[in-house]
Structure 1
Amino acid sequence: MQIWKRKKILIFTACCCLVLTAIYQHFITKQDTLSMLQRAEPAAASYKELEGVYPTYELFNQSRKFLSYAVLSSASGYGGSITMLTTINKKGRIDSAVILENAETPTYLKRVMESGYPENLQGQAVAKSLKSNQKLDAVSGATRTTEGILTAVQKGIAQVGKNQLDIAVPKVASYHFQWEDGAIVLLLILTVVAAILKLKKFRIPLFIASVMIIGFMAKSSLTLGNFMSILMNKMPVITERPVWFLAVFGILVVTFILGKNVYCGWLCPFGAIQEGIYRALHLSNNRVDPKIMSASKKSQWILIWLAAMLGLFFHNPGIASYEPFSPFFGGAGNTAQWIMMGMVLVLSIFVLRFWCRCFCPVGSVLDFIAQMKRKWKKIVHRKPNFQHVIGNSEASRCSSCQSRHSVCQKKEKNKASLSFFNKLIISFIVIMDFLIIAALLQNAGLI
């Protein structure tokens, strides 16, 4: 009972820390308008607010001389919304563009910024479409992030061009749905049907399709960052990335309704890769002690909590995405993620779904939702169990009497020493835990 009370206190304390961090970040990120505008136009000393769908300002220097127009606009990137602050001069050209907020995976955003964004937008004409400019190509491996930046800036400059400069501007597309999105939706539907009807013969074809479409083509594996985007209300615009909502919310809803983690068992591309490696190259018949797996899986909630804390503190849900998916499918990741990926792939030869069973935060969250549904269902349909209440079982009567009850003998049997293989697995689990912490710190830019 004391252990359960301590657990409750720890869970309550952890939740309080998350709430307090969210409140702190809400107030700390609020800055006065002038300070924000000076990030794009340092010479600005005053401003005048103008009308428009997107917040627009006239900027002036200390002599009240006009400097430029500034506009705040947002669009959907890979992980969520990207907010841009863009300044436009009277000649109808971009003076500067600054990323104010984003929900991107740090490695993807870093790749885009190293390619010259958003500085390469300087001098671009308001009257022309940014996406049609051959000099502004999408960055390989980070296409959605690039498109998010370009779309956000295009929205803002189109409004200034039309309202303030009276320039004919290209129409900004308000709805985006690519063939990969349709394929992902179809895969989700087929997976749910196959799981409900228990059509196990379709599991392998679904996995192959998932690896190709969700993994390599769309690079849209479900991550902890997706769930953090919901909690932090930094989701993409639904008309710009409808598939994000269909996939993320769809999987959460299906998991709760069925009380089963369908995604991990039928659709996860990285899980499919691990399982494929194990089935094809399985070299050892050593069995991992279930207690080791169980303890590792439970301890992951500490890392999930740490990821959530960092995401909230730095106001970026993408920081919480520490999974090795982006290095494998997108070729982008920090050093710790690359090392994790290599270790997971090697250990998958010996342990079935090593990452999934020991470390995956998405699996832990979905398993928790499924478990809550099953518990709720049991409570609703529960019948009184007087035997359990009275405690007639042999195990419940155990009082450390030193007698040789069968229950006690069974417990003694389970205390057998761990094999060398299991000790090796424990050491790898510890290394992986440290690598996950390192990946989170690297995402946050702390190391």
Structure 2
Amino acid sequence: MASKKRDLESYYLIVLFITAIAAIFYGIFWTNKTIDYEAVIQQNIPGVTSIEKMIGAQRAYQVDAEGKKYYAVCDSAVGYQSRIEAMTIVNQEGLVEKVIITQQGETPIFFERLYTGKLFDQFKNLSIKEPVYLGGASGYSGYLDERQTNNYIDRVTGSTVSSHAVAEAVNKGTAYIAAQFFHTRWSNPYDTYQFNRQDFTMTIIYIIALAAAFIKKLVRLRIWILLASFGIMGFFVKKFVAASNLFSLITLQMPGLTNLGWYVLIGGTLSFIVLLGKNIYCAWICPFGAAQEVINKVAGFKSLGISPQVTKKLKLAAPTILWAAVMLGTFLGDYGTLDYQPFSAFFLFKAVWVMWLMLPIFIFISLFISRFYCQFFCPVGFILNLLNRWRNNGVRVWKQMWNRIGYQRWNQWKNNKA
């Protein structure tokens, strides 16, 4: 009977996996919204009399309206979890008239801050004859730093990554218009490599975690390493591996190689699994996992015993919720539904109301069950552990095949020699 139940649970997971992958591919290839760019131009430029699409790979238009000439250009950049496409409208004097977002899939609660923070109003009347820099974003490419120019916008606090992506998309578009129609070329500051103090510190944490996973003596320092991860990754670096980050890999929504910090976070986490067969991120780096484990150890309460039967049922919660988020995202055409983890509430103090309700429950139960959220509800932990299991099973099968081939060749060699 037990084996039959295990089989049913396995079949259940297989069904979830197949239907989720089918939904993702359906959402990517068959439900992409077709944008009427000319209609967007007409809505944002009064008195349009003609719109001419420019020849070439760049999506750009020449527009006549009420005796004036305008240019509209679209380009994109990767934000926190999606590619953000912006249409920039430029007047005949070479000044930005308006920036309109045509496509994006960022977490709604964070992207909405760009509107409430009036980020887009700051682009008005900026010149396209020089780059648009980003103020208040130290360590990001295109950072204003101490440049003497009025051609900059200030990032919106709490949505720096999205602010940076919008500014980068606008800069890429205006660089094209400046070169084509205003005989001006400039070096794009958003093409420079960015590796700030946060990224450097995160790299150190990854190196320490890697060492701790192999050097047994460092296990005695586990509580201190977890505290370091909690403080540095959670409150200084403020970067976490989220389901939306992993989803961006499937949809190829990845930032350029200039964003080295992103590749340390995601590339480093996956490299541990691929090269070493260990999920080091969850065990040593994740700040929320560290918080739960430290809280449990400090509290010192007797652990609540959970029967193996209940544990097996609870283990289905993470894949089930993840599946529901994927399906809902496909239905709505917005995969911001994947961002339901408690990281933003716990470390950034911003989240939807449901997560504010769930966060204290997770923290309270972690007093009695170490890493309660990680064990039963975390989509990242489920995905990384699944990938790790597949990797190790694949390596084991490969070794068995290689040993069998080697044994057969050894026998052939002995027989031939005999």
What's the offset of the Cα at 1:168?
Answer: 6.4
How does 1:57-96 map onto structure 2 within 5 Å? 57-61=61-65, 66-96=68-98
Distance 1:350 1:2, change over 3 A: closer
Q: Is the 8 A contact 2:88 2:173 kept in 1?
A: yes
Distance 1:352 1:268 in 2: 14
Q: Is the 8 A contact 2:119 2:154 kept in 1?
A: no
Distance 1:30 1:141, change over 3 A: same
Identity %: 26
Distance 1:291 1:118 in 2: 54
Structure 1 residue 320 corresponds to structure 2 residue 345:
no
How does 1:50-61 map onto structure 2 within 5 Å? 50=54, 54-61=58-65
- 1:142 match: 159
Q: Give the residue type in structure 2 aligned to 1:19.
A: A
What's the offset of the Cα at 1:194?
Answer: 2.1
Q: Is the 8 A contact 1:261 1:367 kept in 2?
A: yes
- 2:168 match: 151
- 1:114 match: 116
Among candidates 99, 102, 105, match of residue 100 of structure 1: 102
Q: Is the 8 A contact 1:52 1:159 kept in 2?
A: no
Structure 1 residue 183 corresponds to structure 2 residue 201:
yes
Distance 1:40 1:14 in 2: 43
Distance 2:327 2:354 in 1: 19
My pick for the range that moved more, 272-281 or 38-47, is: 38-47
Distance 1:335 1:245 in 2: 31
Distance 1:325 1:289 in 2: 29
Number of residues paired by the alignment? Answer: 380
Distance 2:227 2:294 in 1: 10
Distance 1:2 1:211, change over 3 A: closer
The TM-score with structure 1 as length reference comes to 0.76
Q: Is the 8 A contact 1:86 1:153 kept in 2?
A: yes
The TM-score with structure 2 as length reference comes to 0.80
Q: Is the 8 A contact 2:303 2:369 kept in 1?
A: no
My pick for the range that moved more, 79-88 or 115-124, is: 115-124
Structure 1 residue 309 corresponds to structure 2 residue 327:
yes
Distance 1:350 1:7, change over 3 A: closer
What's the offset of the Cα at 1:257?
Answer: 3.1
Distance 2:98 2:151 in 1: 19
Q: Secondary structure at the match of 1:109?
A: helix
Distance 1:285 1:2 in 2: 30
Distance 1:99 1:6, change over 3 A: same
What's the offset of the Cα at 1:381?
Answer: 5.0
Unaligned runs of 5+ in 2: 135-143, 145-149, 402-418
Among candidates 48, 53, 56, match of residue 49 of structure 1: 53
Distance 2:205 2:13 in 1: 40
Q: Segments of 4+ in structure 1 off by > 6 A? A: none
Distance 1:45 1:9, change over 3 A: farther
Q: Is the 8 A contact 2:226 2:294 kept in 1?
A: no
Distance 1:339 1:13, change over 3 A: closer
Distance 1:25 1:168, change over 3 A: closer
Q: Is the 8 A contact 2:240 2:265 kept in 1?
A: no
Q: Is the 8 A contact 2:226 2:290 kept in 1?
A: yes
Q: Secondary structure at the match of 2:231?
A: helix
Q: Deviations over 1:160-185 (max 9, x none)?
A: 12321235657433122212112222
- 2:295 match: 277
